[in-house]
Structure 1
Amino acid sequence: MLKKLGFIFEKFGPILLSIVVFLFLIHYKKYFSFHFSPQGGWKIDALYNAIFGWSSVQVGFVFGVYGFVIGKKDGFIEAVKNTVAMKRFNSYLRSANILGFLLAVTSLPLMVINPDISTEHNFIYYVVSLWFSAFTWAFLTFLRISFTFGILISVKDENDFDGA
């Protein structure tokens, strides 16, 4: 039972936590709106740029992991290639790649337009909150992949060749 709950959290944890972040941002919109105003001192354009940069790096890393995993034709990764766990990992890779790409693409107009979210009753605040929640989802999927990939590559292949 506990193992099944762990798999459910592994699969749905990132999206559920991003929904929690969205609800948190909506609930505390007065606080965040103030801090992104000129009096609050936070810079919204810096947030747009930071998340664009992160999502770009994430897509590159995840695509590299995906290429490594599907291209490996021997050793441990080849041995587990057709297991349920590896199929689940590959689906996580695909979703993280898509999420990172969509986040990068949606960050571009935000960087160009630089919408102001400093007023509390502003529709764009909800759009930016949704966008930031998508970042949370993408970031957590990245962590899930990084952790699992670390486990995958830590298993030594039996026929490792150590030199000339």
Structure 2
Amino acid sequence: MPNKLTLKVEQYGPVFSGSATFIVLCVFKDATLSHFVEHDLSIEALYSAVFDWASIQTGFLFGIFGFIASKGDGFIGEIRNSMPMKHFIKYTKWAIYIGFILTITSMPLIVLDKKAADIDDTWFYIIALWFSMFVWAFLAFARTAYIFGVLVAVEDRHRIKG
């Protein structure tokens, strides 16, 4: 059984990491922007990459959720009403929500086509918030995928027919 600290890190790690990313980006705003401009990095490619990842991630999570929701027998059926499974379902739902929000918010960023050199303070904070959501979504996905891997690794009990 995990201790309370482990459970808190599991529960709040993704959103905390996303929040920390936002703070770090804001503190190093000038350095971040100048790095993009100096090295001619494509912020448009970042928008597209995050959009692609978020849309694939969200589809994968819908698949996990569908599998878990429809499985009523075996190991998953046995633990369906347990607290760890309730946490897993909650984690999966949140990962789907944040992935969907990230997918939707990425579309206007792709279309607006703002160059790194043209980003003012307001746009920087919007992009920093969006990228922080990506960190949150990525880690929420990783948490869900890891726990799903643990769940499906447990073999169902096979009964001898007689």
Under a length normalisation based on structure 2, what TM-score does the superposition of the two structures give? 0.93
The structural deviation recorded for 1:50 is: 0.2
- Do 2:44 and 2:115's aligned partners in 1 also have CA atoms closer than 8 Å? no
Higher helix share: 2
Contact 2:42 2:116 (C-alpha < 8 Å) held by counterparts = no
Aligned residue identity for 2:102: L
Q: 1:124 to 1:160 in 2, by over 3 A?
A: farther
Hey, what's the Cα distance between the residues in 2 that align with 1:67 and 1:145?
13
Give CA-to-partner distance per residue, 1:36-94, whole Å, 9 cap, x none.
Answer: 22x32110000000000000000011000000001012100000000010001000011
Q: What does residue 135 of structure 2 align with? A: 136
Q: C-alpha distance in 2, partners of 1:67/1:128? A: 32
* Local SS of the residue matching 1:115: coil
CA distance in 1, matches of 2:13, 2:60: 21
- Equivalent pair of 1:103/1:134 in contact (CA under 8 Å): yes
1:5-63 deviation per Cα after TM superposition (whole angstroms, max 9, x unaligned): 111111011111111111111111111111222x3211000000000000000001100
Whichever residue aligns with residue 9 of structure 2, its letter is F
What is the one-letter code of the residue matched to 1:43? S
Give 1:107-146 correspondences, 5 Å limit: 107-118=106-117, 121-146=120-145
User: Mapping of 1:53-72 within 5 angstroms?
Assistant: 53-72=52-71
Q: Distance in 2 between matches of 1:121 and 1:160?
A: 65
Match status 1:81 vs 2:77: no
Q: TM-score normalized by structure 1?
A: 0.92
Structure 2: any 5+ residue segments left out of the alignment? Answer: none
Structure 1: gaps (5+ residues): none
1:8, 1:160 → 2: CA distance?
38
Query: What whole-Å deviation, never above 9, does each CA across 1:130-156 have from its counterpart, x for those lacking one?
Result: 000000000000000011000000000
Tell me how far apart the structure 2 counterparts of residues 131 and 120 of structure 1 sit (CA, whole Å): 14
Segments ≥4 residues shifted beyond 6 Å: none
Matches within 5 A, 1:1-164: 3-37=3-37, 39-118=38-117, 121-159=120-158
Matched residue type, 1:47:
L
Q: CA deviation digits over 1:96-155, x for unaligned, max 9?
A: 001000000000000000223436752100000000000000000000001100000000
Structure 1 residues 121, 160: closer, same or farther in 2, change over 3 A? farther
- Maintained 8 Å contact 2:51/2:103: yes
Aligned CA RMSD, in angstroms, stands at 1.6
Q: Distance in 1 between matches of 2:159 and 2:123?
A: 54
Distance 1:15 1:160, change over 3 A: farther
